[in-house]
Amino acid sequence: MAIIKRVNRSKVADAKAPDSTGQANGVRKAVFQGNRKKTVGVDDLTLLSKISEDEINKNLELRFRNGEIYTYIGHVLISVNPFRDLGIYTMDVLKSYQGKNRLETSPHVYAIAENAYYQMKSYHENQCIIISGESGAGKTEAAKQIMQYITHVSKSVGTEIEKVSKIILATNPLLESFGCAKTLRNNNSSRHGKYLEMIFNPSGAPIGAKITNYLLEKNRIVHQVRNERNFHIFYQFTKSAPQKYRDAYGIQGPESYLYTSASQCFSVDGISDDRDFQGTINAMQVIGITEAEQDEIFKVIAIILWLGNIQFQEGPDGGSVITDKSISEFLGYLIGVSAPLIEKALTIRIMQTQHGSRRGSVYEVPLNPTQALAVRDALAMALYNCLFDWIVERVNRALVTSDRSANTSIGILDIYGFEIFENNSFEQLCINYVNEKLQQIFIELTLKTEQEEYVREQIEWTPIKYFNNKVVCDLIESKRPPGLFAAMNDAIATAHADSAAADNAFAQRLNFLSSNPHFEPRQTQFIVKHYAGDVTYDTMGMTDKNKDQLATDILNVVHSSSNNFLKSIFPAPQETSARRRPPTAGDRIKASANDLVDTLMKCQPSYIRTIKPNQTKSPQDYDTRIVLHQVKYLGLQENIRIRRAGFAYRQAFDTFAQRFSVLSGKTSYAGEYTWQGDDKTACEQILKDTNIPPTEYQMGTSKVFVKNPETLFALEDMRDKFWDSMAVRIQRAWRAYVRRRSEAASSIQKLWNRNKVNVELQRVRDEGSKHLQGKKERRRYSMLGSRKFYGDYLSASKPNGTLWSTCGLSSSDSVIFSMRCEVLVHKLGRSSKPSPRQLVLTKKALYLVITKIVDHQLTQQVEKKFSVSSIDSVNLTSLQDDWVAVRSKSSPDGDMFLRCFFKTELVTVLRKINRQIKVIVAPTIEYCRKQGKTLIVKSQKEETANDYDYYKSSTIRVGTGLPPNSVSKPFPRLATGVSPAVRQPPAQATAKPAPVKRAAQPRQQPLPQPVKQNKPPAPVSQAKTTQPSPPAAPSLYEINQTTQIFPAEQSSSPSSAPQPIESPAATKPTAFATPSQAPRAPPPPAPPAAPQKPLYIALYDFAGRSANEMSIKKDETLEIVLKEPSGWWLAVKNGSEGWVPATYVTESKDSTMSAETPVNNGDSSPGVNNLAGSLADALRMRASAVRGSDDEEDW
């Protein structure tokens, strides 16, 4: 018997436990005492310091009074009936035993079930659980809990498997109703034996079952002692039958029938007949018993009940007659025969004489009332016995399996225990005989066979004496010399026609057994000295019960019935042969008991020995005398001695070597058995490599014997750890593979998503290029492969942003395009000059936003607004300039004429929103400056202008661009293993540029390009870094302002012409760009003489809000070193630099002007150095000049 450590099957492995260092060690350590609560006494009787029956009894009593009803003797479980609910069969308790060996948990019936299931699944060996003990000791409850446990732990996914599990569990309430009854010793006593064999597939899931029935107590149908009851089903049916059965079968209460009222016991404490009847019906439905079959079952119950109410009185001819003819008539209706036929079968016996093999005469012999009652009772018992056998067979049909892979099983034997009454007859002899056979199995497997195996395997062993009850079994079943069953058969054969004569003949034959030391004859009685005690049996009526034959005329009545169900459950009448007598009840019981023994001997057994603590069924009483008697006849003392001296585990060499080969590097490699020598040497090598001391095991001739179960558990634990380690390695490799696959998938998804976006952007770009294809020269930076149409470059779509609020947008407005641009504004007495604006396009309207100074604060206003539907056309020149005229059909303020670096994108999105907008490309642009005032702007090539245009006197001058039929380059491919730079849209127009720590160099050197950010960043240190980060791409407005070129400068100094500057998209740094790919910058011009620096005076107090903002006080003198068009100037005060608002300072009148051309601030011309008094005065002067001028050329 192998009891081994195993991992939990029903749940995911526990989280890895940290080792002493706090880190996960990868394999959970087995803790055998982890789930065990503190116990009282010893939970294994082999641990008793003194082995005696009194010490065993004291330990059991101590545990019983503390609610501990289970105790081990090795792998044998001792169970004491508590006669109360201890709460130890809950689902939580059940799960706590799942996957555990018996040393990890407290003794329990679940531990026995778990061990049997694991042995069956691991070793593919059939298992059986033998439950033995007195009647009322708790055998049926133990069997029920074992079934509950096994069906739970073997539960698998699958409709058929779940159905089988439900049917197996449903057999309990069904067979309890038809096979259990209240006795003086037990309120739910099994009055039949049952062997349930659960069949499993190779994966351990139940796929079928088979029930074998033994020794139904038929006599209980017709007779019960006082305070006992008939079978439960009679009381359930008479109390809770539906109205249809009461009407059809005439069902009344149990007090109305002789078979249910003779004992005057109708109710039982703790049993609800109404609830149990519903449970019986539900069980029938689960098993698949149809409603029609249920009707027939309950009709047979009704027939038995009414049959018991038939009474007889002596007739005039000395025979007997039925006192109430109405009962026989109703019985005829239920059975399906005529009433006279029933009356004749019950009151007249038909006898037939024989002469050798020939038939003789037939006689009708009247029966007296006593004999008629015996016939009535015999018919009732036969009806119920046949019905019970049919129910068992019907259950087996529901549980039968055709799966050929089913090769393992677990059997559960629940048979009523040893019985000793005041009057013991044939039934008690049969029951006690079966219990003797079970005790013999226990002796054979745990005492006799074990010691014989030690001798056979040449194991060092000191024999232990024990009582072998085989002599008692032979006394009952032997043929030579004849035993009790053989003596009864001889008596029946001698006087078969007269029961009394047969009983006397049987009593005389018992004298031949008087020499047997376990037998004692006493006139009409005899004593058998069973293993459980001496029992006195009465010989009166034994031979008739052993004959167990129903009269032929009774069988003929049943088979003449119109009820097909009755005819199907009854055996057909057979012709009696003179040469061969029919088998008696004793013959059938002996054959069934031997078949049961053969079945059990083919299985690996587990034992549960039940003990009844008292005869009063009280949860408080513990009768020491009664328990001590049971301890003695169960042989617990001998069992303990053998267990302490023996070996807990034995296994064949080949099986042991195969199972534990992974524990030695010499017997296996990577889990494969690689040993080349014999199996015995392999076992020795494994035990040596696992450091098992030689005192813990012995090597036999064909098996290895392990003394203590702890040693086996250690081996199993090491084996589990090996496979756990292998599983962890596989899991680690799998997780690495999954991680790599996930990362690859993520990379592919990112590339795909980015490529999908790029494809869409490229599609939009190429679609926009078609509008200008072959019509307009292209700027080379517009044809770069990295050029993408992002749309919202000013983040105008940000809710509650400055542009969002200025344009009055709502959540339904979607910003499609936003960009800085320039429009022409006139200066007093001068040519029109570009002025910065911001352009915002939604699906509904096009907004032109201006930034003004109001009350010395920068504010934004909508200067013009065109609805998209009102836009008629977009006009462009055929050269590479960036000027666009957006013409409206109905704008009173005139059209929009603006310079936009991303003109192609603007044209594309306008056409995408409104397909009716015309794109006109011509040498000149015609537009309305205001309503009724049409202007024509010419375009002219001027090679000195290079890539950048400039406007003067209604003429746009620009260098030669790429041919009109030029095609954009494809998107650049990313270098392998390099992540692409993320393109961030430009910040809003009100962002402050970062101050740049200026190096000590002449002022004639070109100023560094300001980097546009949300707040003025801290000055950059001059410290040299190993790899400086590439600067952010400058915005359109910043490029335009920092590279502003005037015509006079261009003509007078050609060498100072502006150099090509990339667009924001073109200058976007990427991870794969190299210095060699950037446009080569021209050499700087010769530095002029250092100019004097102008001074500025603070007009107001300003408190800096960040580290790179300078706090100033009113009237403080500052030096301005850099002016940004965003409204922030870089100032120097007392040697420190910082940003100040341009509106907070003004140039000092005493300062010396710089020789350098001042930076244009958008709304002021190069020749104007201040606001000329006030902004209002300047505006009035401008209006007056416009009204008095006849020359529109500059406007």
Annotated binding site: 133-140
Per the residue annotation, which of 296, 419, 716, 1109 is the catalytic one? 419
Q: Which position among 101, 105, 135, 1035 bears the catalytic label? A: 135
CA 1174/CA 1138 separation, integer angstroms: 27
CA distance 295 to 284: 12
* DSSP H helical ranges for 652-708: 653-660, 679-689
CA distances to 410, 799, 843, 909, 1055 from 812, rounded to whole Å, are: 73, 11, 10, 18, 52
- Which residue ranges are tagged as binding site for ATP? 133-140
Q: Which of 190, 240, 469, 904 is catalytic?
A: 190
- Catalytic, out of 151, 189, 584, 1035: 189
Q: Starting at the edge strand that comes first in sequence, how are the strands of the sheet with 703-706 ordered?
A: 649-652, 703-706, 697-699
**Catalytic residue flag (residue 417):** yes
CB 388 within 8 A of CB 213: yes
Give the three-state DSSP class for 941: strand
Buried b (16+ CB within 10 A) or exposed e, 32-62: beeeeeeeebbbbbbebeeeeeebbbebbbe
Q: How far apart are CA 630 and CA 980, in angstroms?
A: 86
Q: How far is the CA of 1188 from the CAs of 712, 828, 829, 1167, 1191, in angstroms?
A: 116, 11, 11, 22, 9
Give dist(CA 1182, CA 1194) in Å, integer: 13
Distance CA(1151)–CA(63), nearest Å, equals 109
Q: Which of 1145, 1135, 1127 is nearest to 997 (CA)?
A: 1135
Sequence-distant (6+) residues with CB within 8 A of 465 are: 638
800 part of the active site: no
For the beta carbon of residue 207, count every other beta carbon within 10 angstroms.
Answer: 22
Q: Is 209 exposed, middle or buried (0-12, 13-18, 19+ CB in 10 A)?
A: buried
Q: Per DSSP, which regions of 97-205 are E strands? A: 127-133, 180-181, 189-190, 193-200
Q: In residues, how long is the chain?
A: 1195
| Residue 618 a catalytic site member | no
For residue 520, give the DSSP letter: E
Q: Which residues pair with 303 in a beta bridge?
A: none
Contacts 24+ apart (CB under 8 A), 153-161: 153/9, 153/10, 153/98, 153/113, 153/114, 153/117, 154/117, 154/200, 154/204, 154/205, 154/206, 155/205, 156/203, 156/204, 156/205, 158/205, 160/207, 161/205, 161/206, 161/207
CA dihedral sign, ordered 813, 817, 820, 821: negative
395-to-283, 816, 912 alpha-carbon distances in Å = 10, 77, 78
- Cβ contacts of 192 within 8 Å, gap of 6 or more: 175, 179, 213, 214, 215, 216, 217, 388, 416
> Which residues are within 8 A (CB) of 168 and not within 5 positions of it... i.e. 6 or more apart?
147, 151, 196, 198, 206, 209, 399
Query: Is 1104 one of the catalytic residues?
Result: no
Q: Are 518 and 535 in contact (CB under 8 A)?
A: no
DSSP 650: E
Helix (H) or strand (E) run with residue 395 in it = helix 369-399
**Cβ contacts of residue 837 below 8 Å, gap of 6+?**
820, 821, 822, 823, 848, 849, 850, 863, 898
1039-to-299, 894, 1125 alpha-carbon distances in Å: 106, 28, 11
Q: Which residue has the tokens 């003025």?
A: 1016
Which one is catalytic: 79, 105, 132, 140?
140
Active site residue 419: yes
What pairing do the DSSP bridges indicate for beta strands 189-190 and 180-181?
antiparallel
- 422 tagged catalytic: no
Tokens of 273: 């007949």
Just list the catalytic residues: 135-136, 140, 186, 189-190, 417, 419
